[in-house]
Structure 1
């Protein structure tokens, strides 16, 4: 089987009436995204952008478990451990460019965020202009648990969430449902999963707004709104150490549990993530933030924690990563700053095309 045949099977394309459909088709891998899939999606968007018969693009995932669990991190693990990192850097270059393209897509881009939507799956969906969650949605940016940092424009999205909700989600990697995704600006509508087939059928004949009017519902209450007070207070701190101290001192059992969650994550990833979020707020545009994320991601390829985190969580699955440095106190400002070092001729360079 050729590489193009593999990518064709992993991404199914079809049109139905006025809508063109992208279906991620690796259900046994929870539709994990690889480089060939990114290229296939980008090629489809190029063709459909100039096709007047296509008025809407819809992305969804095959199988019952979710849209996409993220990038193929086993491949990144092997590249970081045994290779020179060039394959991962090339993948991210094309993936982040695709994320930016989705955000600027000139036609309605409907993302069906049913089931698990994590990491790279968020990049394929949450930058779209019509983001549909269901009662089964479990949306997360879980990178700090594998020694990595939220990417695919995740720090841009989370930096724009109300108050410090985005900081909470970025540092903890917490999974959220539909109501919390709407609150945080990661989704726009709730359509019950049982209604998705009819909703997708309607997109063949109707404008997106009319199809949504037929099927969208108000979500039941989420969890984050009731926790805003302590989340905003604790995560407003300037350092991860102070965030943890405030969480422990808060007195709320959920805040204390959150502190324990943070202390199990990669200390380096936590500090770099906090710095990336704060900088993303100042950078403004998605393209500028993606340029920053590319620097951070490439730097992470050379670290102990990325290989160790993926090993512990995905490869060996012992769930006991041995982080180095092992504590927040041992991660220096210079350790953090090196993740943001410009890459010279190897920069992603997205912002240069928009400034």
Structure 2
């Protein structure tokens, strides 16, 4: 298995430090992936409810429902995966406890089980992701891609790797088999983990740390997404050029005005050079870097489509290599 994913696969896990905009990036990626005739499922976990407001929709539930049209006429569906509901699914699939599972839920037994065994929640959540990736309807895949708005970088490796540990502990039986199956998918070319950051010291450092952790856990890293980038490349400007420009515009090129404009230029230049430095640091990690602009008015559905158009050629446009190892 490889810890890098040169070509993005069917399960896209989007993580990042809090405040970097990972939920917006996940939503935009889902729109970008929803090409003509394609269906994409956008999933959130842990009751975050961050996706629906971006689409101007009501809060998501456990049942999948249509959210928006993709860039090229595809469809994006949304779901909020709850561990208790996922456990009911698990009991129905592996133990055929359909109605009995509902009784357990009413008595509080399911909530008790997921509370005393915190790792069980992550096993159930990642298991539900695998079910969505592998599900077929009428002879074709139910979804062409699944995008997960994942836990933040500080917790994502533990979240994704929980089935490895549970598979080792449970050597036999449905839990062990299920865990190993999910672990194979998460460590295969079917999965790509994208890390979202912003051009600032702490988020970039946390991205570098998360990248190393993912590599050490043999989890497939996809793109590094530099989000909320403002400004353009630096251009050399002198005080004389500023003065000449003011004169051509019929404005007074007095020293105070030219000096004030040069101070503004120096400040903007420093910010742009800082972004260049952060970009260079990310590129040195050896993974492709996608760059998204800062949207001054905030991110709404229109903004998501704008970000999706930027993502489409890179992150959403990548394809699996023919030699990649798949796991079902």
Bigger strand fraction: 2
Q: Considering Cα pairs closer than 8 Å and 6+ residues apart, tell me whether 1 or 2 has the greater RCO.
A: 2
Bigger helix fraction: 1
Larger gyration radius, structure 1 or structure 2: 2
TM-score normalised by the chain length of structure 1: 0.30
